[in-house]
Amino acid sequence: MADSIQMRVTRYDPDRDSAPTVVTYDVPLRKDWAILDGLNYVKDHVDTSLSYRWSCRMGICGSCGMNVQGEPKLTCATFLTDYAPGPVRVEPLTNFPIVRDLVVDIEDFMEKLPRVKPWIVRDDVTVVDGEYIQTPEELEEYKQFSNCINCMLCYAACPIYGLEPDFIGPAAIALAERYDLDSRDRGQRERLDVLIEKEGVWGCTFVGECTRVCPKHVDPAGAIQRYKLKAAQENVMAFLLPRGAR
């Protein structure tokens, strides 16, 4: 194994640059090193101005998503050796405005998320009554959708979101479905009202990239399909019955 690898890293300084550039760094190629370890090596030893987000370094906080060799990845869970002999391209996540270097602006998602009401909609039971009964089978119904870490890889992979920024997007829809499928929740109607709109599920042409890139094996594409079915049934009902009768 060679003892170093080239990382070709996007740099962008909004104060000085009119467009992003690429800078190549040589970093040690070590068996245990993730892409993130390579970036940390650059920051500590080569160029201290390189900017990127990271935190937990165990694939759960969702901070360190970047495009690696063109694919959205968690850089703490993607290893340099998988790209040997290199070079390996590290770019900011696509489909988001670049703030600086590898940092992107995710405010669009932060504004969209509350719209799908990602919380339990129900107020007929109080805590003193004890826990809601939920069997392991009922838990299994929504569990995979609850594993979303909001890392934004699915938005970076989604060609629709790239073309239609109003599209509410895979992670938010997966979280809507997570609560819809939760036996404790009563908010399906309210969420459908949001997702039945044009920027809801209808934008999706079922490319399936979101599910493919998800590092936590969530299936947003599946959630979107289920919503389309619900929305289609709703539209048929709307055609047949006045709203008050539904």
Partner 1 sequence: MVSEGAAATHDVLLVGGGAAGLRAAIAIAETNPNLSVAVVSKVYPMRSHTVSAEGGAAGVIAEGDTLDEHAYDTVSGSDWLCDQDAVEAFVQEAPRELLQLEHWGCPWSRQPNGRIAVRAFGGMKNMRTWFAADKTGFHMLHTLFQTSLKYGDVRRYDEWFVTRLLVDDGRVHGVVALELMTGRIEVITAKSVVLCNGGSGKVFPFTTNANICTGDGMALAYRAGAPLKDMEFVQYHPTGLPFTGILITEAARAEGGWLLNKDGYRYLQDYDLGKPEPTPVLRSMELGPRDRLSQAFEHEVEKGHTIESPYGPIVHLDLRHLGEKLIETKLPMVRELCMQYERIDPVKELIPVRPVVHYMMGGVHTDINGATPIEGLFAAGETACVTINGANRLGSNSLPECLVFGARAGKAAAEYAASAPQPPSVVMEQVDDEVRRIDRIRSGDRGTERIADIREAMQSTMEDSAGIFRSGDSLSKGVDRLADLQQRLEHIQLSDETRVFNTELVAALELANMLDIAETMLQSALQREESRGAHQRTDFTTRDDERFLNHALAYRDSDGSARIERLPVTITRWPPGERVYGR
**Given the rule CB under 8 A, which residues bind partner 1?**
13-16, 32, 43-45, 47-49, 51-63, 77, 99-101, 103, 105-106, 110, 113-114, 117-120, 125, 127, 130-136, 138-139, 142-143, 146-150, 175, 179, 182, 184-185
Q: Report d(CA 225, CA 235) in Å as an integer.
A: 15
Output the smallest distance, CB 182 to partner 1, in A.
Answer: 6
Name the residue nearer to partner 1 (CB basis): 22 or 120.
120
Output the smallest distance, CB 62 to partner 1, in A.
Answer: 6
Q: Which amino acid is at 190?
A: E
Q: What is the dihedral of CA 33, 38, 40, 41, to 10 degrees?
A: 100
Name the residue nearer to partner 1 (CB basis): 47 or 166.
47
53 to 66, 85, 90, 123, 129: CA distances (angstroms): 10, 26, 13, 38, 43
Name the residue nearer to partner 1 (CB basis): 142 or 160.
142
Q: 11-43 burial string, b = 16+ CB within 10 Å, else e? A: bbeeeeeeeeeeeebbbebbeebbbbbbbbbbe
Name the residue nearer to partner 1 (CB basis): 70 or 130.
130
Output the smallest distance, CB 163 to partner 1, in A.
Answer: 26
Output the smallest distance, CB 180 to partner 1, in A.
Answer: 12
